[in-house]
Structure 1
């Protein structure tokens, strides 16, 4: 296991992004303007960069990383921030995106976990 944090808050606009097959995450100390559109999670130390073929488990549902944007690891490490895109693309369209492949969208609730399992 490489990383595990707990969802502490779900912004009211998160459902809009889920409809677009995206989830924006931030550490739970994010500014108010960002809280509305994000899934906030506990601040944890990231020991290793996220890489293609790693597993991201959200609420116990697993997704395979298919692409990592050029800035995603840095922003996740410093702010707990990235955008998880559930399209399974082999290229991240935006530097802060992480592309994931799996079945459907995860069910996110306060108290569920976000885990990174390095392969």
Structure 2
């Protein structure tokens, strides 16, 4: 077996709303695509997508700038929201079952404050059988 890492979602932060640090104090980070309505800009990290293949699954890694967080649980609507709207809520609550359909749960602890130009990426470990190429 060979193990590789696949990037399923990759973006660049284009703006960070003024209220984002207040949400971070409560362990919440809200993302929206940079085409989101203006009333969401203050509370969100806005981003521009370069890879949009899938949403997060438990066990995936979310890379926020230099920090990496393991996904513990994912709500039912996260994939559609992320792929269609660029919307995702990260909650540092340590839960292994999402309370709300839009939640992406990670370990309890601080979530980094992103800045314009930072990467927001989701990667997945892929276990693929060795291929016989003879």
TM-score tier (shorter): over 0.9
2:76 to 70, 73, 93: 70
Moved more, 11-20 or 21-30: 11-20
Larger Rg: 2
Show the counterpart of 1:98: 104
Show the counterpart of 1:84: 90
Structure 1 segments of 4+ aligned residues over 6 angstroms from their partners: none
Under a length normalisation based on structure 1, what TM-score does the superposition of the two structures give? Answer: 0.93
Kept in 1, the 8 Å contact 2:27–2:109? The answer is: no
Question: Unaligned stretches of 5+ in structure 2?
Answer: 1-6, 126-134
Q: Distance in 1 between matches of 2:20 and 2:54?
A: 27
Work out whether 1:40 is the aligned partner of 2:46: yes
The size of the alignment, in residue pairs, is 119
Work out whether 1:24 is the aligned partner of 2:30: yes
Moved more, 83-92 or 66-75: 83-92
User: RMSD over aligned Cα, in angstroms?
Assistant: 1.4
Show the counterpart of 1:57: 63
Q: Distance in 2 between matches of 1:8 and 1:67?
A: 27
Q: Distance in 2 between matches of 1:102 and 1:21?
A: 8
Under a length normalisation based on structure 2, what TM-score does the superposition of the two structures give? Answer: 0.83
Describe the superposition over 1:25-48 as per-residue Cα deviations: whole angstroms up to 9, x where unpaired: 000010000111100000344212
Work out whether 1:107 is the aligned partner of 2:109: no
